[in-house]
Structure 1
Amino acid sequence: MKTNLALAAILAAGLAVSGCSKKAPKVLPPDPGGSVSTETPGANQGPVPGSQADFAATMMGQDTILFDTDKYNIDSADQTALAAQAQWLAKYPAKRITLEGHCDERGTREYNLALGERRANAAKNYLVTLGVDAARITTVSYGKERPAALGSDEDSWAKNRRAVTVTLD
């Protein structure tokens, strides 16, 4: 019993001493290696190659193609954007993408989901003709559920009739 009491007293003293904090020195020693950089290595070198940020920076707005009302055909401007995407994808052959089909707010939900799917598939099919493996491309339609521009005017509608390419990690 005395040993238990003595052990408890030793533990209490140890806890009391460990709870004391040291005072900070008034003067810090000089830095042995000169100034230390706070920058992360590679922080100013741009986006990581092959990342979504790299894709967006390389595409400079060509990650999105636009469509006319109720259309899903690939025009010459779309061909140029998709060709740039195919070149980027050729540089990163293990990278996969999702093509998102979108519509403006007009029309029923069902109609817009079907139209968005046709737009995403049209972009996919064009990329396949440029040599991108179809197995690397998935498609999804959001219909009118994810507008890029809010508003009920022609400018907003034009921005929402689109297919967007998103890279997958």
Structure 2
Amino acid sequence: MSVNKLGKFAVIGLSAAWIAGCSTTATETDTSTVAEDANSTEQANDTADNTDQSFGAGEDGALTSVIVEETVAVDDSNMDMLAGVETVFYFDFDKSIVRPESREALAKHAEYLISHPDARVVLEGHADERGTREYNMALGERRAKAIARYLTIQGVAPSQIETVSFGEEVPVAFGHDSEAWQLNRRVEVRYE
């Protein structure tokens, strides 16, 4: 058997072993661990009056998974600083340049982020439906990074900023005219 054939068999064998290892089912240990975690999570959420949880049951009503929505305790007095400040910033067709009318609101976001070094922001870039999906993903990323650059120039730490692009995939307006396209060319600011 040649070395080349032996290498191919090794790759196929390792791939099969990896796939088989990934397709395991839950054991009693897994279920009990999840149930213990669910009980402690449920007790913690009961004290906080939070009911944002879902449970799934397996055979015999056994608990198999828990999905808990994390809620971050936000001090409302800290967010008062951003009351009424725009969180959506619009762009011209095929451009990723921050508009002058957006600068005042972005300065307030920067001021908030500088005064709250633990705060994190996600900048979600979007594009309208014109252009290819790949181009619109790149355009959405350029738009989000333009806002990020503006914030870092104002003094915000880059570690507080995350950028993501949705391209044309998450429109807010579903029309096929200039008004709808304008609403979809945007960056949304979301605090974590």
Which TM class, normalised by the smaller chain length? Answer: 0.5 to 0.7
More helix by share: 2
- 1:142 aligns to what? 166
Using the alignment, how far apart are the partners of 2:88 and 2:109 within structure 1?
10
Asked if structure 1 preserves the Cα contact closer than 8 Å seen for 2:85 and 2:108, the reply is no
- CA deviation after TM superposition for structure 1 residue 97, in Å: 0.8
Unaligned runs of 5+ in 1: 1-39, 41-46
Percent identity among equivalent residues? Answer: 43
Using the alignment, how far apart are the partners of 1:157 and 1:50 within structure 2?
34
- CA deviation after TM superposition for structure 1 residue 91, in Å: 3.1
**1:90-134 deviation line (CA, Å, top 9, x unaligned):** 232201111110001111100000000000000000000000000
- 1:131 aligns to what? 155
Q: Say what the alpha-carbon RMSD is for the aligned residues.
A: 2.4
- CA deviation after TM superposition for structure 1 residue 81, in Å: 1.9
Using the alignment, how far apart are the partners of 2:76 and 2:146 within structure 1?
24
Secondary structure, counterpart of 1:94 in structure 2: coil
Computing the radius of gyration from Cα coordinates, the structure with the larger value is 1
- CA deviation after TM superposition for structure 1 residue 89, in Å: 1.5
CA gap of 1:50–1:122, structure 2 versus 1, over 3 A, is farther
Using the alignment, how far apart are the partners of 1:50 and 1:128 within structure 2?
25
Unaligned runs of 5+ in 2: 1-48, 50-72
Larger RCO (CA within 8 A; separation ≥ 6): 1
Secondary structure, counterpart of 2:172 in structure 1: coil
- 1:121 aligns to what? 145
TM (normalized to structure 1)?
A: 0.65
Asked if structure 1 preserves the Cα contact closer than 8 Å seen for 2:90 and 2:99, the reply is no
Paired residue type of 2:86? Q
Using the alignment, how far apart are the partners of 1:162 and 1:74 within structure 2?
10
Matched, 1:73 2:97: yes
Asked if structure 2 preserves the Cα contact closer than 8 Å seen for 1:62 and 1:84, the reply is no
Asked if structure 1 preserves the Cα contact closer than 8 Å seen for 2:125 and 2:163, the reply is yes
Asked if structure 2 preserves the Cα contact closer than 8 Å seen for 1:65 and 1:81, the reply is no
Paired residue type of 2:95? K
Asked if structure 2 preserves the Cα contact closer than 8 Å seen for 1:63 and 1:164, the reply is yes
| Aligned residue-pair number | 121
